[in-house]
Amino acid sequence: MLKEKLRSVGMRITAPRLAVLEAVHHGGHLNADSITAVARERLGSLSRQAVYDNLHALLDMGLVRRIEPANAPALYEARVGDNHHHLVCKQCGRVEDVDCVVGHRPCLEPATTHGFHIAEAEVTFWGTCPACHDSIPLNETDVLSETEI
């Protein structure tokens, strides 16, 4: 399946490229260091530069997506071609995909474009995942009430 994805966009199938793409497809939201570690497990040896080169090529061809949560390294994911957003835990950094609300398009069309040709929009929801939330004393939780939303 992944070889077909590479072929469908005219990319050569190389062992490093396939290992990087497999790491992203099976890893959820991974940073480059994690992708490097997973790809090295498969290949035995792979330079960090080769991982970055392949990630950039895969990004350019639309086979992976990069997200950049504030104050964190860039993350790569295999879910492309749709408009989805992300939930990020402020405590542990866990990232989850979240679909747009059906029938709503939050922040996808700015009030003014200032002449820009909009290609995409990215929305990141910050909060605390269930595991971290359960470990924080009640008075320290940082959540919005229904009226604040």
Q: Given pLDDT bands bounded at 50, 70 and 90, which one contains residue 88? A: very high
Domain extent, residue 30, equals 2-67
Q: How many domains would you assign to the chain?
A: 2
Which stretches does DSSP call E strand in 28-147? 65-67, 75-77, 84-89, 95-99, 124-127
63 in the same domain as 6: yes
Dist CA 30 CA 128 (whole Å): 19
48 in the same domain as 14: yes
Domain boundary among 67, 95, 120: 67
86 in the same domain as 63: no
pLDDT in tens, 30-64: 999 999 999 999 999 999 999 999 999 999 999 99
86 in the same domain as 62: no
